[in-house]
Amino acid sequence: NKMMEGAVFLDCGTDLGSGRHVPGNPALRHGKLGSGMGLGYGLRFKAPVGHFQVDYAINSYQQKTVYFGISNLGS
Find the domain containing 53 and state its range: 4-71
CA distances from 36 to 21, 22, 27 (A): 19, 18, 12
Q: What per-residue string of b and e applies to 23-56 under the rule 16 or more CB within 10 Å gives b?
A: eeeebeeeeeeeeeebebebebeeeeeebbbebe
Average pLDDT (13-27) is 86
The string of pLDDT tens digits covering residues 26-58 is 888 887 778 889 999 999 999 888 999 999 999
Q: Give the count of domains, the chain.
A: 1
Model-level pTM greater than 0.85? no
N-to-C CA span, the chain? 20
